[in-house]
Amino acid sequence: MRPPPGTLTRLHPTRLRPTRLGLAFLGLTVVTLVGCINYALSLGYAVTFLLGGVWVVTAAHATRAGRAVSATLAAPAEAVAGTDAAFVARVSSAGPALTAALRAEAGRAPVQTMRHVPAGETVTVTLPVPAPRRGKLALTRLQVVALDPLGLWEARRALPVPEPLTVFPAPEVNAPPPPARTVPGAGEGAGRTRGDEEFSGLRAYQPGDSPRQVAWRHAARTGVLLTRETDAPAGTVLALDWADTARLPDPEARLSRLAAWVNAARRTGTPFCLTLPGRTLPMGGGEAHARAALAALAGHAPLPAAAAPARRATPPAPLPGSVLRFTLFALAVALAPAALRQPVWVTLMVAGVLGYSAARTLRPLPAPPTVLLGLAAGVTAALLYARYGTLLGRDAGTALLALLVALKTAETRTRRDARLLALLGLFVTLTHFFFSQGPLAAAHAALSVLLLLAALGGWTDPLTGPPTGARPLRGAGLLALQAAPLAALLFVLFPRPDGPLWQLPVQDAARTGLADQISAGDFASLAQSRAVAFRADFAGALPAPAERYWRGPVYEAYDGVRWNQVRVRGPAPSLELFGPTFTYTLTLEPSGKPWLLALDSPAVLPSGAFLTNAFQAVTPRPATGRTRYAFQGRAARLGLRESEERLAFDQQLPEGESPRARALAASWQGLAPEARVEAALAFLRSGGFAYTLSPPALPERDRVDAFLFGTRRGFCEHYASAFTFLMRAAGLPARIVGGYLGGEVNPDGSYLIVRQQDAHAWTEVWLPGRGWVRVDPTASVAPARVNAGLPTALTRPAASAAPAPTPLHRAALRLDALQNRWNTWVAGYDGSQQRALLSRAGVGRIGGATYLGVAGALLALALLPALLAARLRPRSADPAARALHDLTRRLRLPRAPGETPTAYAQRAARQFPAQASAIADAVRAYHAARYAPDRHAEALRELRAAVRRVRRR
């Protein structure tokens, strides 16, 4: 048996499950996690784990809300076919404010209504259930659902289903009047019938009797309700008969006309009788008689067949403008960093679309046609492809994504669309880490995530959403703080693979750095840039300035203008290491090049890297972001046993190129190899050469002659190119090595900062018995380039040390030290860093028993706040209300929504008569504490004592 409507019944246990939005949020988190794994985005890990923590924490909030919510449902007095039956529910929250939904199913038609329930209050909710046909309307399922602040989870509780509701036939509109019939015996003394002319006696009151017929004087004197009966002479009466509707072919139309006649008699108070096939209602009047007649019409057989639930083609309700504007603002903040790198026209288009979407929330403007939006997307894709040559690359892909997200705002019409904007904004935020993972990028990501979560929470409220002020931001900040422990734990312990899962073609914008080929003047442009190329952190003492040659690409093929890298076949040359080992870590900025810049010569290479036969450290997968590499190096003799093919190749010169330089070098061929090198260096030292960033241009033909015997002004590549030419002309194998020289010592972090302006080129000469020997011809002209750095070498070429840093420069070094620590422990936290940290902590290898045990224990601690929040019983902020709640817990008898304390005490006394006196005392004490502010503290103590006197059940 179903309980009658409005009856309080203990609710079923809470069932927790994610909403569709919650599943989409989880899917976004999984997608971003896979992307972070593949592209080694350390800050992306942090944001992804924060979103995952929010997903877990909101589950705890939904659980708590589900424990706090309760509801009862009352059926309407009557319902008419073709309309909505307005069921009335009372939903209350015994704890925090929450968003609740009532869901029901009538047949196969789902129905839902949502309301915001303030903390500790009860709200009345109307649940409109479609009643498409006459007969019985039965709710097959009834639930009250509590949502978390973001709408990611829902806690469901089943409610008792009320008895089926009788749906009356829809009355015919403008129905003709019913036929009148004459009954014999009219007049005084003749037969009488029910009417309203003369008093005929009193009878017991029945529900549905008109209040005008109640004998109120008799009730006031005796306390008993009686109803006056009247009658009239039998004459012309209202007799409704099924046969009177015979002209209507449809049975439903005949019932509709009869229902119209019954309602007309109901309104006028006219007595009537009703005759249906197989059933007759005698003459009668009043509300109860009319409802009985309508019920008979509703149950007349055969009942109409149940039709499939039709979808209502109702337009979506207008979105609340304040919440939509806040969502657009959050999305604009998420898209803002893209303006620094994408084409200006893309930024203008994004700003224009967002501005138009915001303007539509303030005044009625037409929505852009879908065709126009599709055309804009197609044209943008074509223009981006024309510029970048692909749409899959980092720059083109993120620019196209920004515009597509902006276009989505122009067609946002429903809450589902608005929530999707917030999810897209979170995805866009993580794409910025492809370009930077510095502290500013982290600060922007934190602000963007906070705003987008607040916007997402704004759409949880079913009416207008929370005000776009401090409250949603405060709620989002609280969720982020609660999720932070879990996010930090996962950031440290989640396994970091050493390589990507897959490779995609990435077309990046041009980067500054060493090139695949060089010619005179190329390095001068790099010298203008103070951008950081890499940072080197040594485990011990820093190497001397003369040993800070960071080896990069090796250039061996010369065509008279440019030096290029080549692959010379042959066995691997010899490498003889000697001397002490030094350990250092390089943090390379993204360059898109495969070479790793190591000191001569690396004894232990990073995982996956290898040495070419030109002793160049390279990696098969160039890093697209800031990357850390660990090296161990020792002094070495390179290529003592070099292949004859390579030595011959490294003596080749273009035919007829620079004859004066050839003649000068030929004059040294009778000297010993080392003496030839010294002769060339002496020529440079004594030839009046100058070191400058702005040398004169050299001709395409005989460039070395023009430099050595003409301009005599150049940068490092000028001297390296000319010296290598002289060595080859003198009969010695020689080649150019590109890389960096020096590095600025940061005393705050005891590491070297190597900038793009430190790019350098030098010469390697192969000498018998010594192998490849480094010779820096630039040092012969400007010794300060080696000992003091580029700025000093340009102004004081013979200086032996750099000047003391200024206070402003020292402050910049301190900031760089903070940046370096950030790169080490946050942006550069990778698999090797993780393994080293876990090893120092004694956790052991990832996946081992110790690791799993420690990770499980820490995970339980990180989840403890969420678990406590889920288990926390909802309690009111009012101490008197909390004491009354304790009374209900002691009796294990919950209060009904909207039930007064007095009504609750009466119900509890009936159920527990042995404690009726104690319950009454507790409720009286509650009233005294609740409504006696002058003695509030004392009244609260008496209330608590009275509650404790009630025995627990």
**Residue 21: other Cβ atoms inside 10 A:** 23
> Who's near 601: CB < 8 A, 6+ residues apart?
551, 575, 577, 615, 633, 634, 635, 636, 638
Asked if 622 and 591 count as a contact pair (C-beta separation under 8 A), the reply is yes
CA distance 334 to 402: 10
Sign of CA dihedral 904, 906, 907, 908: positive
CA distance 286 to 266: 7
Q: What is the 3-state secondary structure (H, E, C) of 516-527?
A: CEECCCHHHHHC
User: What size, in residues, is the chain?
Assistant: 953
pLDDT value at position 1?
38
Look at residues 794, 761, 826, 758 and name the one whose alpha carbon lies nearest to residue 531: 758
Task: Say which of 244, 776, 816, 921 is annotated catalytic.
Answer: 776
Q: Tokens 């009630």 sit at which residue? A: 950
CA distance 929 to 365: 56
What pTM, to 2 d.p., does this model score?
0.77
CA distance 421 to 402: 12
CA distance 657 to 728: 12
Asked if 338 and 398 count as a contact pair (C-beta separation under 8 A), the reply is yes
CA atoms lying within 13 Å on the CB side of residue 372: 8
Q: Is 716 a catalytic residue?
A: yes
pLDDT value at position 953?
77
Q: CA distances (Å), 371 to each of 347, 348, 368, 407, 545, in order?
A: 22, 20, 8, 12, 65
Look at residues 877, 898, 901 and name the one whose alpha carbon lies nearest to residue 888: 901
Sign of CA dihedral 517, 519, 521, 527: positive
CA distance 717 to 759: 10
CA distance 201 to 211: 16
Sign of CA dihedral 49, 50, 51, 56: positive
Helix or strand (DSSP H, E) at 98: strand 98-106
Asked if 101 and 156 count as a contact pair (C-beta separation under 8 A), the reply is no
**Residue 621: other Cβ atoms inside 10 A:** 12
> Who's near 836: CB < 8 A, 6+ residues apart?
none
Torsion of CA 542, 545, 547, 552, to 10 degrees: 100
Task: Say which of 716, 758, 816, 885 is annotated catalytic.
Answer: 716
Average pLDDT, the chain: 85
CA distance 65 to 96: 7
Q: What is the 3-state secondary structure (H, E, C) of 103-151?
A: EEEECCEEEEEEEEECCCCEEEEEEEEEECCCEEECEEEEEEEEECCCC
Q: Is 250 a catalytic residue?
A: no
pLDDT value at position 926?
86
> Who's near 289: CB < 8 A, 6+ residues apart?
208, 271, 272, 281
432 DSSP assignment: G
CA atoms lying within 13 Å on the CB side of residue 109: 18
pLDDT value at position 464?
43
Task: Say which of 61, 760, 816, 885 is annotated catalytic.
Answer: 760
Which residues in the chain come in under a pLDDT of 70?
1-13, 181-201, 208, 231-237, 306-317, 461-470, 499, 501-513, 521-527, 623-624, 800, 865, 868-877, 897-898, 932-935
Say how far residue 243 (Cα) sits from the centre of its chain. Answer: 68
